Chain A
Amino acid sequence: MDDKVSRSEIAALVKWAGMELSEAQFDQLCEAYPHAQRMIDSVPRDQPRWDELANVFEFPPEDAEQ
């Protein structure tokens, strides 16, 4: 995916996350964003639909033993 992202797009995502950033914090985020996006993009998107999560639901032992 294209890692170019506009400052207005990042501003929308910051609001969506409910954050209020100072100008310096916002600048820092804009600088880091493409690196984060590259990590996100490195996650495979075409895994077989059967591939399970590594973290799976299980009852806490005290519930399973009732």
Chain B
Amino acid sequence: MTTELECITIAQAARLIEAKELSPVELTEAKVALIEGLDGQLNSFVTVTADLAMEKAKAAEAEIAAGTYRGPLHGIPFGLKDIYNTAGILTTAQSKILIDHIPERDATTTAMMHAAGGVLMGKLTTHEFAHGGPSFDLPWPPARNPWNPEHFTGGSSSGSAAAVAAGLVVGALGSDTGGSVRIPAALTGIAGLKTTNGLVSRHGVVPNSFTFDTCGPMAWTVEDCAILLQAIAGYDASDASSADHPVPDYRAALTGDVRGLRLGVLRHFWTDNADAETAAAMEAALEVLAGLGAIVEETQIRPPQDYYDVKIVIAESELYATHEKELRARPGDFGADFLSRAFPACLFRAVDYIQAQRKQRRILSEMRSVYAKYDALVTVGAAAPAMRLDAHKMGESWEKPNVTTPFNVTGGPALVLCNGYSNAGLPLSVQIVGRPFDEATVLRIGDAYERATEWRARRPKLTEGAPQVPVTPAEVPTVAPDLDAETADIVEARVARAGLTLDDGQHARLYAATPHALAMGRRLRGPRPWEEAPANVFRFPRRV
């Protein structure tokens, strides 16, 4: 992967296209050829729309030649996670449940990308319904990491990350409910932005969690993320939780100057759980930021588990409700990993859901003093480089928190970008977290860091036409752990009340998650003032 068009960024391509030194048709043809040559190794696409892309590229070229240049996405090949509705194009959410779902209309963000002149290359691999792990039992295989195809991309915007890292698209849109933009960005060495809740429309994007879903950009550089964000940010009356908030010029914020910015370092997010290479890369990144003139000091917020309890109880309850009909009627049509996350939500009570929302409001309140003291927070993007695909342990998401979910609960922007490589050649990452709606500062810091380092000069090395490296997935757990009689009674009562019919394996995986799910509910019961209201509030639907 050495030619100029394989590695070109949005900003570079846009400059050349505007100057009529690069043809959108030539760029799109190059990307189609790359997809044909490489995606057999990566599985980053569910659907390739090559013919449509060529039509769009020709139209962009004609428009630009006629003097109508729409801006920096005009003629740029991009991809969409396969949960974004695309009119007339299969949108599966990587699930058998939606295997023939062809939407009549575009998602708001899809339409915005088209309006900006982007050239859609196709629909990108995800985890089932943007949830679950890397699954080998779905109609489409999981994406592979371009840095080493035996390794995991992270998820759930797995194909978006793999396609950007390998240069198959110049940018992509993903979604982030608990880290689904940032984790794959971290593990594939690209930049990915979890946007402030409400900043980017979710309308027409297959829901995971109504409370936490956010849509965001994924690209090779932070500057490219700023360009993509500019195209998709803004109020949308069709989205029930869209925020009517001014949209600044994100690219103009990329001054390269971070002097005097106050950065709070959340070292407690990685000291106990990160590997040595990740920890060393973090210390080096902090030195770079300090060297650029930022004021770097250590601070603390709650431990990750506190945020995780809130997110999991709310999000899994909402996911379960969204899929309740199918979970009862045709559970076998979901992948085992998705079910290992969805079924235990039958153990959460309405009271747990409300207590989690009340705790979320308290957390939002606590963050005000943090935002007053710091312009941004800095921590790891992932605690370790990408694991091997065959090392994925189903059900592990119940056992321990991650480092991305806290910022889905606090709700502001969180950017992940590359801060080095492991000795095995896998990307490492840093995460920059901002105040709600202050994407501009987060992008400014990330861009300044990228300019000051040389990590963007390295790309994955893949050989066109090479066969896919075989991977044998880990065994799906089928043996139920022992539960005490009282706990087993609770599970059986809830399964019966929920109208679920589980096979032995599903039953075993529910039992494995049960102690963790029940503990989450218990931890949320803590005493709280009567007046502490939920974070979600009633809103009359708006006229569209």
Contacts and interface: CB of A to CB of B under 8 A. Distances in A.
The answer to whether A and B interact is yes
Interface of A: 1, 5, 8-9, 11-13, 15-18, 37, 45-46, 49-50, 52-60, 62-64, 66
Contacts of B536: 53, 55-57
B493 to A, nearest CB: 4
B436 A64 contact: yes
Contact of A49 (B197, B323, B361, B497): B323
Interface residues of B, number: 49
10 smallest CB-CB distances across A and B, nearest first, come from A12-B489, A56-B241, A52-B240, A55-B536, A16-B490, A12-B493, A9-B493, A46-B325, A56-B240, A57-B211
Given A45-B324, A64-B243, A57 B197 contact: yes
A16 B456 CA distance: 52
B490 A49 contact: no
A57 B535 contact: yes
B236 interface: no
B451 interface: no
From A16, A17, A37, A46, residue with most partner B Cβ within 10 Å:
A16
Given A55-B536, A56-B536, A66 B490 contact: no
A34 B245 CA distance: 47
B197 A62 contact: no
A13 B490 contact: yes
Contact of B243 (A37, A55, A59): A59
A59 B210 contact: no
A15 B486 contact: yes
6 contacts: A9-B497, A15-B489, A16-B347, A57-B411, A59-B364, A66-B435
B351 A17 contact: yes
A31 to B, nearest CB: 18
Given A9-B496, A49-B322, 7 more contacts: A12-B493, A49-B207, A55-B539, A57-B198, A59-B243, A60-B365, A63-B367
B534 A55 contact: yes
Given A63-B436, A64-B245, A54 B538 contact: yes
A37 B145 CA distance: 48
Contacts of A56: 210-211, 240-241, 536-537, 539
Contacts of B88: none
B437 interface: yes
B458 interface: no
Contacts of A50: 207
Nearest to B240: A52
Contact of B240 (A9, A11, A53): A53
Contacts of A18: 522, 525
Interface in B491-540: 492-494, 496-497, 499, 518, 522, 525, 534-539
B206 interface: yes
Q: Which of A8, A13, A37, A56 has the most CB of B within 10 A?
A: A56
Most buried by A among B240, B361, B371: B240
Interface in B206-225: 206-207, 210-212
Interface in B350-388: 351, 361, 364-365, 367-368, 371
Contacts of B361: 60
A54 B536 CA distance: 9
Contacts of A12: 486, 489-490, 492-493
B328 interface: yes
B82 interface: no
Nearest to A41: B499
B376 to A, nearest CB: 13
Contacts of B328: 45
Contacts of B240: 52-53, 56
Given A12-B493, A56-B241, A62 B437 contact: no
Contact of A52 (B210, B351, B496): B210
